[in-house]
Amino acid sequence: MTAGRGPTIVAPAVPAGLDTPSLVIDVGIVEANARRLGEQLRARGVALRPHAKTHKSVSLAGIQLAAGASGITVGTLGEAEVMADGGIDDIFIAYPIWAVGPKAARLAALHDRTGLTLSVGFDSVAAAERLAIAAGSSSGAPPLRVILEIDPGNGRTGVAASRAGAIAAAARNLGLDVLGVFTHGGHAYRGAGAVASAAADEVHALTVATEQLRSAGIEPRVISAGSTPTALGAAAEPVNEIRAGTYLLGDRIQVALGGSSPSAVAIAIAATVVSTAVDGHVIIDAGAKTLTKDMPEYLVGYGSLPAYPEAVIERVSDYHGVVRIPAGTQRPALGEVVVVIPNHCCPVVDLFDEFVATRGGVEIGRWPVDARGRSG
Amino acid sequence: MTAGRGPTIVAPAVPAGLDTPSLVIDVGIVEANARRLGEQLRARGVALRPHAKTHKSVSLAGIQLAAGASGITVGTLGEAEVMADGGIDDIFIAYPIWAVGPKAARLAALHDRTGLTLSVGFDSVAAAERLAIAAGSSSGAPPLRVILEIDPGNGRTGVAASRAGAIAAAARNLGLDVLGVFTHGGHAYRGAGAVASAAADEVHALTVATEQLRSAGIEPRVISAGSTPTALGAAAEPVNEIRAGTYLLGDRIQVALGGSSPSAVAIAIAATVVSTAVDGHVIIDAGAKTLTKDMPEYLVGYGSLPAYPEAVIERVSDYHGVVRIPAGTQRPALGEVVVVIPNHCCPVVDLFDEFVATRGGVEIGRWPVDARGRSG
């Protein structure tokens, strides 16, 4: 994929008079996104368990559950604690928690919560041993539900599918309740050309892993693939669950990869032009501590300004975004509030205490980013 | 500068048993860094007004003031509010605040605080007009202290030095108290070869700007240059103040640029190896929501592991750091806690609620990142 500005995104309407930088979401678009993917997956007989690391918000998780999500996914114990405190009762921690010391105590406390259905990822027998000890699975406590991570070719975490049977059996023999297997098709993020094959890789890896578990005498109840770009492509036999996250808010990366349509982006940053003193660019008050430095090689700039499609956010320092205005193109005025679409919504949300929740440009409330900073 | 791993940094000692990821600082090293630069600048007759955006901590600002700092610098109104609430009584907001709406009200409230000496940056007559209105400078309130930003060739914010007289005079005529001029030599961050010339650029721009102000009948009281790499190089006539920030904690970028020595880095991330399932690398629980994606082209990796100098953090996703272990080199074990030196301390600190404060590897307390997330 050639690096480019990407399709022009239809920015959510932003209320006037906000302090800047502000994190704005359009709840109507959020609800539509939650419904759309839920329906598409239901039509395929596949459950949706959205990844809440995208939004870290109990309110947004509630919208997903109201739209039929089967539960939520999180990436850390801290997110699980916050979501459980918020009343979410079915949580999968899709991460190979190494349960010793403080993490063992925290995992045990979550496992013991009344009314919470908790499951946890693992990708080694050693990690399973710590999980079993932490959850008291060998001492008469109800067994901890665990799901084995399989590497579909992403090359990050997860065991080779061909080893799934032996490792799952070892976990079962430790007293754990092995629910099934999961993949993350993160290699889809290499570019739009990688999405379809990443989805196929997930289905293939999960097919092999499922057979492996059956050979070991374990019938998988959860066969879970996950990423927004691969969400529909991976929703095929034997997969019975999808763990997409970014689909809810959208961002420039998702639009470039086909995971969101340009009119389905629900998130925007309101920023002010604070300086036009240096020729050729304007400075906005959204820098690296707002937009992050997340910029895949197939995107130009650290975010886009839909109202100024030729403008490029070419540098960011902590509180400054340097927006290059190509000669002959329109530029925003000093003092103007501009709407910025971030490249990657997940780390951007983690930099704010609250969402400005809107409907059609009208503020309806401030919603906390409840699990902000809960990265462990 | 060739991209490289950079010098091996002496990692601060990290207490055993921490939850991960944790943000650790060695207070002894912090204090030594605060004293060293203060003394070096005092020997040159130059004041140090450290930039608190690096640490966002009232406690760390207190260490700087105890070591003789003349006041502090911040980048946002939010940081100023938090530091003022913490009892800091002399604050310069080195940012071209556009004082309308909520920001005008917040600026006015700060300006009216008893016992607070506040000054604010600007780089346009239009911004000065808003500042004057917000601070009531035309209606009998004490005049707001402002400092004109000059671009020393960084190409971000700031007026050309040759225009400083006219703009400063316009601000004075609006009823503002024009204290002087400031630069940020951010072009030093292009690489070690750019540091000396960036410092010289700051001195030159401030020399011209000082003459400009005098020609306009304004005797500058503050002639302020700022960045850690240029701190000593720019401490030359007529400069009378340096606004370094990162010198206090250090990081990989500063060591690469000569702004910190490899034994003066006070900050580290404690992370756990959570997966070794995929050959050739290990996964740590410090990803983009801990280390950020800040990686200048002259550094390899998103952080370094001093105990494993050949290891490269070559990818980060939200909660995963992918640490490549070159063949034939030592790798940390599954479950091991490793110490990571971040590339850029400022945005990393902004991702944590607290510092684990230590002395020589022993925890002495948890210090809040008071101004976390106050990016506006």
Of the partner residues A96, A97, A288, the one whose CB lies closest to the CB of residue B347: A288
- Please state the rounded mean pLDDT for residues A151-165: 98
> Cis omega (within 30 of 0) on the bond before B306?
no
Of the partner residues B98, B294, B335, the one whose CB lies closest to the CB of residue A274: B98
**3-class SS of residue A144:** coil
Q: What percent of chain A has pLDDT over 70?
A: 98
- How many Å lie between the alpha carbon of A320 and the closest alpha carbon of chain B? 8
On the question of pLDDT at A333 being above 80, the answer is: yes
CA gap A273, A284 in Å, rounded: 4
**How far is residue A218 CA from its own chain's centroid?**
29
A3 band by pLDDT with thresholds 50, 70 and 90: low
Q: Cβ of B327: how many Cβ atoms within 10 Å?
A: 7
Q: Do A334 and B127 touch (CB under 8 A)?
A: yes
Of the partner residues A158, A289, A294, the one whose CB lies closest to the CB of residue B375: A289
pLDDT recorded at residue B138: 61
> What sign for the dihedral angle of Cα A299, A304, A307, A312?
negative
Distances (CA, A) of A56 to A91, A349, A371, B48: 13, 8, 5, 40
Angle, alpha carbons B274-A244-A194 (nearest 5°): 85
Q: Do A274 and B97 touch (CB under 8 A)?
A: yes
- Nearest residue on chain A to B18, judged by CA atoms? A102
In chain A, residues with a C-beta closer than 8 Å to the C-beta of B96 are 274-275, 277, 283
Q: Do B17 and A102 touch (CB under 8 A)?
A: yes
What's chain A's average pLDDT?
96
- Nearest residue on chain A to B285, judged by CA atoms? A376
- The CA dihedral of B366, B47, B246, B266, to the nearest 10 degrees, is -50
Q: Do B375 and A290 touch (CB under 8 A)?
A: yes
CA gap A76, A84 in Å, rounded: 12
In chain A, residues with a C-beta closer than 8 Å to the C-beta of B22 are 376
In chain B, residues with a C-beta closer than 8 Å to the C-beta of A190 are none
Contact status, residue B305 vs residue B214, Cβ threshold 8 Å: no
- How many Å lie between the alpha carbon of A220 and the closest alpha carbon of chain B? 21
Pairing of strands B72-74, B90-96: parallel
Q: Which segments of chain A belong to CATH 2.40.37.20?
A: 261-368
3-state secondary structure A161-177: HHHHHHHHHHHHHCCCE
Q: CB pairs below 8 Å between A and B: how many?
A: 187
pLDDT tens for each residue of A180-218: 999 999 999 999 999 999 999 999 999 999 999 999 999
Angle, alpha carbons A114-A115-A118 (nearest 5°): 95
Residue labelled with tokens 């999180």? A74
Q: Do B289 and A130 touch (CB under 8 A)?
A: no
On the question of pLDDT at A158 being above 70, the answer is: yes
- The CA dihedral of B76, B82, B86, B91, to the nearest 10 degrees, is 20
In chain B, residues with a C-beta closer than 8 Å to the C-beta of A375 are 21, 287, 289-290, 318-319, 351
CA gap B250, B237 in Å, rounded: 27
In chain B, residues with a C-beta closer than 8 Å to the C-beta of A354 are none
- How many Å lie between the alpha carbon of A125 and the closest alpha carbon of chain B? 10
Per DSSP, what are the bridge partners of residue B94?
A: none
CATH code: domain A261-368 is 2.40.37.20
- Exposure on the CB side of residue A125, measured as CA atoms within 13 A: 11
> DSSP letter string over B100-154?
SHHHHHHHHHHHT-TT-EEEEEE-SHHHHHHHHHHTTTTTTSPPPEEEEEB--S-
- Nearest residue on chain B to A347, judged by CA atoms? B289
pLDDT recorded at residue B8: 85
Q: Which segments of chain A belong to CATH 3.20.20.10?
A: 89-244
In chain B, residues with a C-beta closer than 8 Å to the C-beta of A290 are 375
In chain A, residues with a C-beta closer than 8 Å to the C-beta of B97 are 274
Residues 6+ apart with CB under 8 A from B85: none
pLDDT tens for each residue of A289-322: 999 999 999 999 999 999 999 999 999 999 999 9
CA gap A210, A206 in Å, rounded: 6
Quote the ipTM score: 0.97
On the question of pLDDT at A2 being above 70, the answer is: no
Contact status, residue A234 vs residue A199, Cβ threshold 8 Å: yes
Task: Check residue A4 and report its DSSP letter.
Answer: B
On the question of pLDDT at A91 being above 90, the answer is: yes
On the question of pLDDT at A257 being above 70, the answer is: yes
Of the partner residues A19, A98, A293, the one whose CB lies closest to the CB of residue B102: A19
Contact status, residue B93 vs residue B75, Cβ threshold 8 Å: yes
- Nearest residue on chain B to A126, judged by CA atoms? B334
> Cis omega (within 30 of 0) on the bond before B229?
no
Q: Cβ of A142: how many Cβ atoms within 10 Å?
A: 11
- The CA dihedral of A325, A330, A335, A340, to the nearest 10 degrees, is -70
Angle, alpha carbons B294-B300-B305 (nearest 5°): 90
CA gap A281, A317 in Å, rounded: 14
Selection from B56, B44, B30, B64 nearest residue B231 by Cα:
B44
On the question of pLDDT at A5 being above 80, the answer is: no
pLDDT recorded at residue A140: 72
**How far is residue A150 CA from its own chain's centroid?**
18
Contact status, residue B309 vs residue B7, Cβ threshold 8 Å: no
What's the N-to-C CA distance of chain A in angstroms?
34
Which residues of chain B fall below pLDDT 70? 1-3, 137-138
- Nearest residue on chain B to A163, judged by CA atoms? B277
CA gap B161, B214 in Å, rounded: 13
pLDDT recorded at residue A1: 42
Query: In B148-184, which positions are buried (b, 16+ CB within 10 angstroms) versus exposed (e)?
Result: bbbbbbbebbbbbbebbbebbbbbbebbbbbbbbbbb
Q: Which residue spans within chain A are E strands per DSSP?
A: 22-26, 47-48, 72-74, 90-96, 117-122, 145-149, 177-182, 222-225, 241-242, 267-275, 281-284, 303-304, 312-317, 320-324, 337-342, 354-359, 362-368
Quickly list H helices, chain A.
27-43, 58-66, 77-85, 101-111, 125-134, 164-173, 195-215, 252-257, 288-291, 345-349
Contact status, residue A116 vs residue A110, Cβ threshold 8 Å: yes
Selection from B202, B107, B196, B109 nearest residue B154 by Cα:
B202
CATH code: domain B89-244 is 3.20.20.10
Q: Do B376 and A350 touch (CB under 8 A)?
A: no
Q: Do A293 and B294 touch (CB under 8 A)?
A: yes
Distances (CA, A) of B167 to B179, B181, B217: 13, 11, 12
Selection from A269, A299, A266 nearest residue A287 by Cα:
A269
Of the partner residues A22, A100, A157, the one whose CB lies closest to the CB of residue B320: A157
- Identify the helix (H) or strand (E) that includes residue B78: helix B77-85
Residue type, A287: G
Contact status, residue B47 vs residue B41, Cβ threshold 8 Å: yes
Of the partner residues B53, B283, B292, the one whose CB lies closest to the CB of residue A156: B283
Token pair listed for B149 = 């930003």
pLDDT recorded at residue A170: 98
Task: Check residue A95 and report its DSSP letter.
Answer: E
Residues 6+ apart with CB under 8 A from B93: B73, B74, B75, B76, B77, B79, B80, B118, B119, B120, B121
Pairing of strands A47-48, A22-26: unpaired
Selection from A151, A142, A86 nearest residue A118 by Cα:
A142
- Identify the helix (H) or strand (E) that includes residue B272: strand B267-275
With 0-12 CB in 10 A as exposed, 13-18 as middle and 19+ as buried, what is A97? buried
pLDDT recorded at residue B7: 78
CA gap B208, B223 in Å, rounded: 11
Angle, alpha carbons A1-A151-A176 (nearest 5°): 150
Distances (CA, A) of B233 to A174, B30, B44, B209: 62, 22, 11, 18
